[in-house]
Structure 1
Amino acid sequence: MNAVKDLSHAVWQDTEMLECVSVVPEISNTASFTFRAPSGALFAYLPGQFLTLEIPAPEQPGGVVHRTYTLSSSPSRPRSITITAKAQSESIGTRWMLDNLKPGMRFKAIGPAGLFTNAESSAQKYLFISAGSGITPMMSMTTCMWDEGRDLDIVFINCARRPSEIIFRQRLEQMASRTRGLNLKFVVEEPDDYRPWTGYQGQFNQLMLGLMAPDYLDREVYCCGPEPFMQAVRDALSGLGFDMDRYHQESFGAPVESENDQPELNDIIPADDNKAEILFASSGATAKVAETDTVLAAARAAGLNIPSGCTFGVCGTCKVKKTAGEVHMVHNGGISEDDIEAGYILACCSNPIGKVEIDV
């Protein structure tokens, strides 16, 4: 009894190496690696924090690389700690772990650390939005709230290339089947061959957000994924009037340890008091408008007819060529990346920034 009592007060410090106890495949090129402290110490951290591992890399200078991974485990289960890692084509450390890491091997680790956590949040309603392996901190936070017996109110959105590439899908569905408060929404780019998909398909956008979480304005938002994905999420939220002080993000490529390390989000947010000027080149008309006015609204006010349909960036009817200047466009799938690179915009969901010239 005394030994158990003493153990309960021993907290793992990163001066002690970690010992791998299991390697569990998740999806292709992805696995969950679970570690324990050889001394039997317990792990104390906040859900959503990360760990930095020192990984063998014989081809690299010094023979090791340091890689940072968000913890997918929950501090409510303190006897072990788990990272879930996906190897990209250029991966060195994760590739080595997938090919070589076995139970019994020991690693030096630094941490846990990081600011991306809801541990101190007073919010009652959450919106977790992630892409790919950005799901890991969301899993940690959700599991912790589940284990603590909290009254869950979470809309959990994860975006993946295919249904078979949704990490933790079965585990999340099992949790959701036992509570009304975990609302799962998966978005995929394309279905798996010979396996019908009846859920959301395409790129995450404002329209999907409104369908998946109609009360998004009331929720605290946590987002993790590649920067282009998080930019799209921020654009969607800010364009719908969300209070961005209630938005939190962590790139799985660059987690931060302190407030000073937080990257500045220099997002373009159109404002009523910022003025813009649109020259409709073909007709010679000019419109002086607020940045919050769309190109379509400005054209109509100038007596010009740009064909339109949905007015929400879905149908693509209002596609026009931008020949100069910048616009802030938040569309819902009605225009391709190739068209955007060629200079086309959707007039219905494009706000002019400064001086803009449109071929109308």
Structure 2
Amino acid sequence: MMRDQAVFQSTSRVTQPQFWGALPARWDSDTDDTLVCCHVRQETHDVKSFFFRAPAERAFVFEPGQFITLELDIDGETINRCYTISSPPTRPHTISITVKRVPGGKVSNWLHDNLQPGSSVRVLGPSGEFTCARHPARKFLFLSAGSGVTPLMSMSRAHHELGEDSDIVFVHSARTPDDIIFARELDLIASNQTNFRTAFVCERVGARTSWPGVTGFLTLPLLKLIAPDFLEREVFTCGPAPYMKAVRHLLDEGGFDRKQYHEESFSFETISEVAAQLATAHVADALHGTLSENVVGFAPAPAPVETKFKVSFAKSNREIECGSGQHVLDAAKKAGVRLAASCTQGMCGTCKVKLVSGEVEMKHAGGIRQREIDQGMVLLCCSKPKTDLVVDK
């Protein structure tokens, strides 16, 4: 997709007259982490899109399907939340997220009630590996439910705006027809591209007096009707955990090759489950990285001897023991130490703390800035101790 971004940059001077001249410098959250909300758009009765610009003119460069992490101050508490970018990289001057109001959800309700044009937020990213840019294919199948439509919308918008009449079947599931996010825009893209097809599956009709689409749930027979050649397609799936689990079972039932399957989820349990299934099937292309296949004929390497280290929490005056092969967050939870955490995959930055002393091995996925690492910050969810540690917590 980087080639496509370069193509778009060369033509953006004439397509966006408010930005005459060369594109501005690339936005980098490591050096400029504040964005300003420039527009809010109501998508459905409980879904809004929030658009952002950098205070100093900057261009956003990312791959469609990636996410950003918002660092919000809510009621005196700093909360991190990951949101997929719903805008495409072909619109480099703004970036957007699309958020569904969740009953009782602290962050989604705060965004809906408080974030407005002129508001500033701190942002980390973009990050993530869930993108069609890294898995080029002749034909795609996008499967989404609810607000899981956002990364697939970014991908669809990118293909559309680059004039690539890619063979894409987009199947979206919603509670009712009025809950379909981006319904009109998806219809517009389908009308503009010969090989882009949509299908909406609604659990019930809702307030509509009539609904020409399908009611119920996505099933294998229905998928075969919508996309008879689904076995040949590269599949990207995003939605609530139960939905994605149902999709995996559906595809398995249909004989789908998991090497062509890609899923987005910030749920550690879901990621672990998929990884285990893929490992059992000896599939190398895993959800967030590559799983090594078993090599026949070689004895397994002996398990390394684990060293135990002390981890002291300076503010709470707690001390735990953590093995050299164990993540500090896991050891803390096992010992009953309550720590803020969200994705547990090194992506969101929720478990970021100051390391007062000691040394760790940290393998993160974009949830921390280099300058923060230089200042002694670590993510406990993806850090293993190499010495005794003192944490400012």
When normalised by structure 1's length, the TM-score is 0.68
Is 1:42 the counterpart of 2:51? The answer is no
Question: Kindly tell me: are residues 201 and 194 of structure 1, through their superposed partners in 2, closer, same or farther at Cα, counting changes over 3 Å?
Answer: closer
The answer on whether the counterparts of 2:201 and 2:217 sit within 8 Å (CA) in structure 1 is yes
CA distance in structure 2 between the partners assigned to 1:112 and 1:194 by the alignment: 38
CA distance in structure 2 between the partners assigned to 1:189 and 1:44 by the alignment: 37
Is 1:113 the counterpart of 2:127? The answer is yes
The answer on whether the counterparts of 2:144 and 2:237 sit within 8 Å (CA) in structure 1 is yes
The one-letter code sitting in structure 2 at the alignment partner of 1:8 is L
Deviation at 1:181, TM superposition (A): 1.2
Question: Kindly tell me: are residues 36 and 239 of structure 1, through their superposed partners in 2, closer, same or farther at Cα, counting changes over 3 Å?
Answer: same
The answer on whether the counterparts of 2:64 and 2:131 sit within 8 Å (CA) in structure 1 is yes
The answer on whether the counterparts of 1:55 and 1:107 sit within 8 Å (CA) in structure 2 is yes
Question: Kindly tell me: are residues 110 and 7 of structure 1, through their superposed partners in 2, closer, same or farther at Cα, counting changes over 3 Å?
Answer: farther
Is 1:170 the counterpart of 2:181? The answer is no
CA distance in structure 2 between the partners assigned to 1:224 and 1:19 by the alignment: 28
Deviation at 1:120, TM superposition (A): 2.3
| Corresponding residue SS for 1:204 | coil
CA distance in structure 2 between the partners assigned to 1:192 and 1:77 by the alignment: 35
| Corresponding residue SS for 2:91 | coil
| Corresponding residue SS for 1:126 | strand
Question: Kindly tell me: are residues 270 and 190 of structure 1, through their superposed partners in 2, closer, same or farther at Cα, counting changes over 3 Å?
Answer: farther
Deviation at 1:89, TM superposition (A): 1.2
> Equivalent residue for 2:23?
8
Deviation at 1:192, TM superposition (A): 2.5
> Equivalent residue for 2:48?
31
User: Could you list the runs of 5+ residues in structure 2 that have no partner in the other structure?
Assistant: 1-12, 14-18, 282-393
Deviation at 1:198, TM superposition (A): 2.0
CA distance in structure 1 between the partners assigned to 2:20 and 2:197 by the alignment: 39
| Corresponding residue SS for 1:177 | helix
Structure 1 or 2, whichever has the larger Rg, is 1
The answer on whether the counterparts of 1:53 and 1:66 sit within 8 Å (CA) in structure 2 is yes
Of 85, 92, 95, the residue aligned with 2:109 is 95
Deviations 1:186-215 (A, max 9, x none): 000000224211211111111111111000
Number of aligned residues: 261
The answer on whether the counterparts of 1:56 and 1:96 sit within 8 Å (CA) in structure 2 is no
Deviation at 1:5, TM superposition (A): 8.8
Deviations 1:267-322 (A, max 9, x none): 49999xxxxxxxxxxxxxxxxxxxxxxxxxxxxxxxxxxxxxxxxxxxxxxxxxxx
Question: Kindly tell me: are residues 255 and 52 of structure 1, through their superposed partners in 2, closer, same or farther at Cα, counting changes over 3 Å?
Answer: farther
CA distance in structure 2 between the partners assigned to 1:45 and 1:270 by the alignment: 33
Deviation at 1:124, TM superposition (A): 1.0
Question: Kindly tell me: are residues 46 and 254 of structure 1, through their superposed partners in 2, closer, same or farther at Cα, counting changes over 3 Å?
Answer: farther
Of 272, 277, 280, the residue aligned with 1:263 is 272
| Corresponding residue SS for 2:151 | helix
The answer on whether the counterparts of 1:24 and 1:33 sit within 8 Å (CA) in structure 2 is yes
Question: Kindly tell me: are residues 137 and 255 of structure 1, through their superposed partners in 2, closer, same or farther at Cα, counting changes over 3 Å?
Answer: farther
The one-letter code sitting in structure 2 at the alignment partner of 1:171 is E
Deviation at 1:55, TM superposition (A): 1.7
> Equivalent residue for 1:74?
88
User: Could you list the runs of 5+ residues in structure 1 that have no partner in the other structure?
Assistant: 272-360
The answer on whether the counterparts of 1:114 and 1:255 sit within 8 Å (CA) in structure 2 is no
- What pairs with 1:1-360 in structure 2 (closer than 5 Å)? 8-14=23-29, 15-16=31-32, 17-58=34-75, 62-251=76-265, 253-254=266-267, 263-265=272-274, 266-267=276-277
Greater fraction of residues in helix: 2
Deviation at 1:6, TM superposition (A): 8.2
The one-letter code sitting in structure 1 at the alignment partner of 2:192 is R
The answer on whether the counterparts of 2:88 and 2:157 sit within 8 Å (CA) in structure 1 is yes
The one-letter code sitting in structure 1 at the alignment partner of 2:37 is C
Q: Alignment identity in percent?
A: 41
The answer on whether the counterparts of 2:35 and 2:121 sit within 8 Å (CA) in structure 1 is yes
CA distance in structure 2 between the partners assigned to 1:177 and 1:255 by the alignment: 38
CA distance in structure 2 between the partners assigned to 1:255 and 1:69 by the alignment: 16
Which deviates more, 154-163 or 93-102? 93-102
> Equivalent residue for 1:306?
none
User: What is the RMSD computed on CA atoms of the aligned residues?
Assistant: 2.4
| Corresponding residue SS for 2:272 | coil
The one-letter code sitting in structure 1 at the alignment partner of 2:58 is A
CA distance in structure 1 between the partners assigned to 2:151 and 2:199 by the alignment: 17
The answer on whether the counterparts of 1:159 and 1:188 sit within 8 Å (CA) in structure 2 is yes
CA distance in structure 1 between the partners assigned to 2:69 and 2:117 by the alignment: 19
> Equivalent residue for 1:286?
none
The one-letter code sitting in structure 2 at the alignment partner of 1:57 is I
The answer on whether the counterparts of 1:190 and 1:201 sit within 8 Å (CA) in structure 2 is yes
Question: Kindly tell me: are residues 94 and 166 of structure 1, through their superposed partners in 2, closer, same or farther at Cα, counting changes over 3 Å?
Answer: same
Question: Kindly tell me: are residues 262 and 235 of structure 1, through their superposed partners in 2, closer, same or farther at Cα, counting changes over 3 Å?
Answer: closer
Deviations 1:256-276 (A, max 9, x none): 9xxxx95341449999xxxxx
